[in-house]
Structure 1
Amino acid sequence: MNVLVVTANADAPFLTQQVDALEARGVAVRILPIAGEVGADVDRSPLDYVRTVPRVLREAGPEYDLVHAHYGLTAPAALAQLRLPVVLSLWGSDVYGPAAPVSKLCAPLCAETVVMSDAMRTELGRGTVIPDGVDLERFRPESRARAREDVGWSADEYHVLFPYSPARTVKNYPRAERVVAAASRRLDRPVRLQTVSGVDHDAVSTYLNAADALLLTSDSEGSPNSVKEALACNVPVVSVPVGDVPERLGGVDPSVVARTDRALVAGLVDVLERGERSNGREAAREVSIERTADRMLAVYERATGTRVADREREREAVASR
């Protein structure tokens, strides 16, 4: 199967991991990024998405089986070509944020729509739920003391990881600051909020293993990768109930899901005082990259009406003539 991926973030680790896993299953992938530059505090303009349409029209030839549009605002460019079926993957902010009208308009026109959580499916009124997968080989429990030495964090403080840029307003960094400051006043040693963003993805596991807990205070999410990666490392999570976080943390101990600042502070204090690793790795197996890639391949097969094995047999038959 040959797939053209149109994406707003070609370098996103969750996307590159998914592509690698699909290629291991016989899918050839070509990535076509949206025009323009993007950063933590810089978004693409509507013109960048418009400029991508002619590129998709030129690229989407008969050698492809489908177009996979990642992120709601890429859907119009993917649908502009009429030759191939379109699979649309929605990330969360494109269902709850300003891009939601575009996502909701385009989703019924796509052969298949993929969402990150049951809540997203309810909001959209359609979709197959496939969270982004986590690489269990890359993210695994390691020595906390050794990890702290590697990242240069003090052994005399609690360390709470906020795995995003404070500039991303949807992640609500000011709330994380309030919660950590209040927790610190109730404990016998300081609590330091560690913001980590822009580091190589291979280093994220070390930062997670160095932390006492991960704190998530986002206003909205789909299926936050940081939570699944923390689970894979057995790092406790304290989070607001966004996206699929309540489902992911079901049965994980210690970890806390809470709505109010007061409950978040109490939960974080309890997690830090206990000082234990969680049992999250077992829960993370449900969303391993291997399982999610298998489910995405099934979506591709439904969208095209063709199984990869059948196409391989066709190619072999042609080659033998």
Structure 2
Amino acid sequence: MKVLIVASHNCGKYSSFVSEQAESTKKKNTQIDYFPVEGKGFRGYWRNREKLLKKIEEYHPDIIHAHYGLSGLLANLQREVPVVTTFHGSDIHSGGIWLLLSKICMYLSAFNIFVSRRIYETAKYKKSNYAILPCGTDTHTFFELPKDEARNDLGWEQNGKYVLFAGAFENKVKNYALAQKAVTLVNGCQLIELKGYDRVQVNLLMNACDCLLMTSDKEASPMVIKEAMLCGCPIISVDVGDVKDMISGIVGCFIVRREPEDIADKLLHIFELRERTDGRNRIIQSGLDLSDIARRIQTIYEDVYKIHARK
């Protein structure tokens, strides 16, 4: 089966969760090619239309898999090849015109994938051609290491208190201000910005830190949470996206109120325990590693192809 991935390439590369998922389906006897969408907003995406039609004519895909609503809408401007669209969150919870365009895409797509139930519920999609399916995590890239070794590699103090912030400080959606207020209530605590690191370095950070802190205003199914779980990293998060479902019942992981005092209280608890979590087993048992998700994606491709072939 030949699948064409349609996704944003504005940063000079595809998002890691897009490329990792696509490459993992290759192992399931699926042939993969990519179409890079360059441009922003509806007009920016529209300018890719002719190039996409040419790519479809040259590659002859059986399925197009688009990531995010605007890519899905672009892919659906042709009606010969069935489109599977994955909605990752910002295309839904941004609301307004973006939600409207995403809804048009949903009703045009042969199949829709929502990465979390909350995103699906926000979209209020009524038809049955959908699945709630988070992106898979790479169990080979993210794994547990001794904390002292990870800290040595990073040049950190062995007795320091390090909290890894789940994103870039300037990203307003991540709500750095709340995290900063909480950390200032804990003496000697350092907040580390998760920005500008490659995947190997992120694995080191997650093994070296005392916990991952997420204070985001909006999320869907944040990959950073699942990656931290694979590293056995304790997690403190507000109730956002599917985080509560992911970490519920795991010792050393906490859902907190959006209050600095509550976050600080849980930070003190984690610093006192100084233990890693059993998050890795939760990910594996839940079938959220790349290979398991690839099998489910492959099944979706096959079902969509069969339905389309009968038309």
Q: Say whether the fold is shared (TM-score over 0.5).
A: yes
Residue of structure 1 in register with 2:295 after alignment: 294
CA–CA distance in 2 between the matches of 1:152 and 1:48? 44
Matched residue type, 1:110: S
Aligned residue runs from structure 1 range 77-226, under 5 A: 77-98=74-95, 99-126=98-125, 127-182=130-185, 184-185=186-187, 190-226=188-224
Q: 1:166 deviation in Å?
A: 1.6
Given the alignment of the two structures, is residue 14 of structure 1 paired with residue 13 of structure 2, yes or no?
A: no
- Please give the root-mean-square deviation of Cα atoms over the aligned residues, in Å: 1.7
Unaligned stretches of 5+ residues in structure 1: 37-43, 308-321
Deviations 1:199-251 (A, max 9, x none): 21222111110110000111111110110001001000000111110110022
Q: 2:52 aligns with which of 56, 73, 77?
A: 56
Partner letter of residue 249 of structure 1? I
User: Which residue number corresponds to residue 305 of structure 1?
Assistant: 306
Structure-2 residue corresponding to 1:248: 246
Residues in 1 aligned to 2:81 and 2:35: alpha-carbon distance in whole angstroms: 15
What is the rounded CA distance, in whole Å, between the counterparts of 1:71 and 1:146 in structure 2? 39
The answer to whether the 8 A contact 2:119-2:220 is kept is yes
CA deviations on 1:149-186 (whole Å, 9 max, x unpaired) are 1122222321000132222211111111112112x14x
Is the contact between residue 73 and residue 102 of structure 2 (CA under 8 Å) also seen in structure 1? no
2: CA distance between counterparts of 1:207 and 1:195? 10
CA contact (8 A) 2:112 2:131 kept: yes
TM-score (norm 1): 0.88
Counterpart Cα distance in 2 of 1:176 and 1:28: 43
Matching residue within 27, 42, 61 for 1:24 = 27
Post-superposition Cα deviations, 1:252-298, rounded to whole Å, max 9, x if no partner, equal 11110122213222222211221110111111112111111111111
Aligned with residue 64 of structure 2, among 61, 64, 67: 67
CA deviation profile, 1:64-98 (whole Å, cap 9, x unmatched): 10111101121221011111001010111111014
Does the aligned pair in 1 maintain the 2:5–2:22 contact within 8 Å? no
Indicate the SS of the match to 1:60: helix
- Shift in Å at residue 45 of structure 1? 4.1
Kept after mapping to 1: 8 A contact 2:215/2:258 = no
> 1:85 touches 1:110 (CA, 8 Å); kept in 2?
yes
Aligned residues: 295
- Whether the 8 Å CA contact 2:7–2:14 is kept in 1: the answer is no
2:73 to 64, 72, 76: 76
C-alpha distance in structure 2 between counterparts of 1:171 and 1:294, whole Å = 32
Range 266-275 or range 65-74, more displaced:
266-275
Q: Using the TM superposition, give the Cα deviation of residue 12 of structure 1 relative to its aligned residue in structure 2, in angstroms.
A: 1.5
Structure 2 stretches of 5 or more lacking a match?
A: none
Amino acid paired to 1:211: C
| Cα distance in structure 2, aligned partners of 1:28 and 1:201 | 25
CA distance in 2, matches of 1:31, 1:167: 31
Residue of structure 2 equivalent to 1:33: 36
* Displacement after TM superposition at 1:117 (Å): 1.0
CA deviations over 1:121-146 (Å, ceiling 9, x no partner): 21223431111111112111101111
